[in-house]
Structure 1
Amino acid sequence: MNQTGETAAVLFCFPHLQGSCPRTLRLYVTRVAMYAFMLTTILMTVCGNLLVIISVSHFKQLHSPTNFIILSLAVVDCCLGCFVMPFSMVRSIEGCWYLGKHFCKVHSSLDMMFCTTSILHLCLVSIDRYWAICHPLQYRTAVPISKVIMCIGIIWLFAFVFGFGVVFSEVNKVGLEALILMSSCVGSCALFFNKEWGIIASLVAFFIPGVVMTCLYIKIFHVARKHVRVISNRVATVSFHELKNQASEQRERKAAKTLAIVMGVFLLCWLPFFITTVIDPFINFMTPVGIFDALVWFGYFNSTFNPIIYAFFYPHFQKAFKVILTNFFCNVNTV
């Protein structure tokens, strides 16, 4: 490709190929800072969620229906940090995709799959907390661990079929063929959604589960406040047995609040991205690539925040994390 005049200053992803995409021009210092920040985020995501995985797997006192859901969610977030975020990092900073069209489809499918799996896991957690706090007497029979594991399996299967089915069938591109052909170049990896599938994908992966979670948590907090009023009225005449029951109820309410914070962080992280996904096809895809990448990474940060939230707000995880980290550093020092 011969380049003269102004085009000579343009860097291309594949200079030896005709029709190569231009690379994103950034200052060296900016690129280094972006790589350092994103690599730190990826390491925090992987290591933090590995701590959750090891904690729930190793400590039997954490073997509960809720924590098995959190374990599966941590696996999702860890997989996102290992198999999606590193490649997205290079694409976001360099503005190029170096791994070919086929792996681009696999990457986009995994991205959709893990995003959908995360929100559905959080929806499942909200259902679990609803039964535990609003129907405590029926909880053990209504939410056995076997049923939770079955629901987790269904979520993983549905998200896999949804993510890979949409991307590889290319139903999301119907009606956009001319636009994609005009804007395509060698070294690009962009996931386009037409108007119909922008709405459908956002509803399935985010808005419908988000509404379900919001309604359930409103109900949970209403019941929790009612419990607090009942306990305050009985505080002068409680027996030892009642004190134990009250302590158990307080733990349940605190767990519900913690998980509500997890859900709230998820909504704050992903809401801008999904709103943009719905609106963008109706404004002829006018959203700048840089802004869209920033929204994607803002969504990825949710996977980094989850284990941090558990460490600060969930006492059982605090103790497990301390034991694991203490043993790890003691073994390193002895070596």
Structure 2
Amino acid sequence: MNYTDYRQNITVQYCFPDNNSSCRKEIYTAPMYKFLLVFLSCVSVFTVFLNLLVIISISHFKQLHTPTNLLILSLSVADLLVGLFVMPVNIMQLIDSCWYLGKMACCVLPVINSVLSSASLCSLVFIAVDRYIAICDPLLYSTRVTVCKTSLFIILGWSSSLFYVILYLYFNDHFLPSQISTRCEGECVVVIAYSWVIVDLVVSFVVPCSVILILYSVIFNVARRQAKAVRAVINDASNKQGIKVLSSSETKAAKKLGTVIFVYLACWIPFYLSSLSTDSLIFVSVIYTVFGWLVLINSSVNPLIYAIFYPWFRKSVTFIVKCRIFKSSSSRLNLLPEQF
């Protein structure tokens, strides 16, 4: 489709026909655009459903009340709220490009979006730290990492995210509805000073990305050394079957860690690189929308990486689907008897 054909698929109207200062809205009628809206709507529903399964599983079954699972629970709560609130509003913006929710909602939505994204990143970092301690210092893990300490870190992470976002938007004059300036009625614009774009790049991407990459690199190297050490012992015992099992386990660990790193970088790098090319992020701009959705889709992928790969999740989903969780003793079910 060339540019002329593309423009022919756009119907130009006004957000508020009775208002002389109304913004123009563009209604896209191309079949591919309608398919995109349906697809993103399915992504939103999928995000809510999958994260809700994770939340119910960890909250209901007492056996899953571990420090690691609490971090996964925190991640799933943030991702659930993204699918429940942020994604539908973004889909609404894609329908006809107008903002109908007023200045108050325009002020609040970036706060919600940024807090949830920051809390999700904090959870990813905490999970990396948790796995680092578990692999590199397994003997002291149970004393150094407890449910109480993990809960405090989760509260600290959410509180820090909220404080940073409020500070970030306050210094960019986007904290109060009266501070928001728009070119026309029906527009929601977030204007960010370039200095704060750099600050946000460092605080919200470079630092957490570096921590995650370094920790997972160390985890993989330690796991590989441990596997080689155990394989050497098995070689001495001429246990060929054991060698195959350990090799398979090492391969699975490498694939899992590689998936974690790849998805994280693929979702966040385009967004932050695009933020360096401009001093203002317009809510309805094409580039911001595309890369912003990459970040949102990360909330759909997170439960796949951190929960579905775990056997306890697949088993708990079976109990939930069969409504067995409504039995009085279901919370005490032993999901993984061979590991406990």
TM-score of the alignment, normalized to the shorter chain, above 0.5: yes
2:291 corresponding residue in structure 1: 295
Q: Does 2:260 match 1:262?
A: yes
1:51 corresponding residue in structure 2: 53
1:12 corresponding residue in structure 2: 14
Counterpart contact for 2:25–2:97, Cα < 8 Å: yes
Provide Cα deviations, 1:211-261, integer angstroms capped at 9, x if missing partner.
Answer: 1111111111110110011010111567xxxx9xx99xx989967964663
> Shift in Å at residue 264 of structure 1?
3.2
Provide Cα deviations, 1:89-143, integer angstroms capped at 9, x if missing partner.
Answer: 1112321110001111100111111111111110011011110001111211111
- d(CA) in 2 for partners of 1:288 and 1:47? 27
1:314 corresponding residue in structure 2: 310
Greater share of helix residues, 1 or 2?
1
- d(CA) in 1 for partners of 2:72 and 2:251? 17
1:219 corresponding residue in structure 2: 218
Provide Cα deviations, 1:167-195, integer angstroms capped at 9, x if missing partner.
Answer: 2x2x2259xxxxx96x6221111222111
TM-score using structure 2 length: 0.81
1:172 corresponding residue in structure 2: 172
Q: Which amino acid aligns with 1:172?
A: N
- d(CA) in 2 for partners of 1:253 and 1:193? 44
Cα distance change, pair 312–150 in 1 and its aligned pair in 2 (3 A): closer
Tell me, what secondary structure is at the counterpart of 1:25? strand
2:201 corresponding residue in structure 1: 202
Structure 2 residue runs without a partner (length 5+): 1-10, 175-179, 328-340
> Shift in Å at residue 286 of structure 1?
10
Q: Does 2:319 match 1:323?
A: yes
Counterpart contact for 1:258–1:314, Cα < 8 Å: no
> Shift in Å at residue 28 of structure 1?
6.0
- d(CA) in 1 for partners of 2:18 and 2:122? 44
> Shift in Å at residue 310 of structure 1?
4.2
Cα distance change, pair 63–125 in 1 and its aligned pair in 2 (3 A): same
Tell me, what secondary structure is at the counterpart of 1:172? coil
Counterpart contact for 1:193–1:277, Cα < 8 Å: no
Q: Which amino acid aligns with 1:222?
A: N
Tell me, what secondary structure is at the counterpart of 1:11? strand
Q: Which amino acid aligns with 1:188?
A: E
Cα distance change, pair 254–121 in 1 and its aligned pair in 2 (3 A): farther
Tell me, what secondary structure is at the counterpart of 1:24? strand
Cα distance change, pair 58–49 in 1 and its aligned pair in 2 (3 A): same
Q: Does 2:112 match 1:114?
A: no
Out of 136, 141, 150, the position equivalent to 2:143 is: 141
- d(CA) in 2 for partners of 1:11 and 1:224? 60
Counterpart contact for 1:49–1:78, Cα < 8 Å: yes
- d(CA) in 2 for partners of 1:133 and 1:70? 18
1:80 corresponding residue in structure 2: 82
Percent identity, please.
Answer: 36
- d(CA) in 2 for partners of 1:292 and 1:129? 33
> Shift in Å at residue 67 of structure 1?
0.8
> Shift in Å at residue 202 of structure 1?
2.1
Matching of residues 214-293 of structure 1 within 5 Å: 214-236=213-235, 258=256, 261-281=259-279, 289-293=285-289
Counterpart contact for 1:258–1:310, Cα < 8 Å: no
Out of 91, 94, 103, the position equivalent to 1:92 is: 94
> Shift in Å at residue 307 of structure 1?
2.1
Structure 1 residue runs without a partner (length 5+): 1-8, 175-179
Q: Where do 4+ consecutive residues of structure 1 move more than 4 Å?
A: 250-257, 284-288
2:188 corresponding residue in structure 1: 189
> Shift in Å at residue 289 of structure 1?
1.2
> Shift in Å at residue 265 of structure 1?
1.2
Greater share of strand residues, 1 or 2?
2
- d(CA) in 2 for partners of 1:268 and 1:288? 22
TM-score using structure 1 length: 0.82
Cα distance change, pair 33–253 in 1 and its aligned pair in 2 (3 A): closer
1:68 corresponding residue in structure 2: 70
Q: Which amino acid aligns with 2:144?
A: A
> Shift in Å at residue 209 of structure 1?
0.7
- d(CA) in 1 for partners of 2:287 and 2:88? 19
- d(CA) in 2 for partners of 1:34 and 1:215? 36
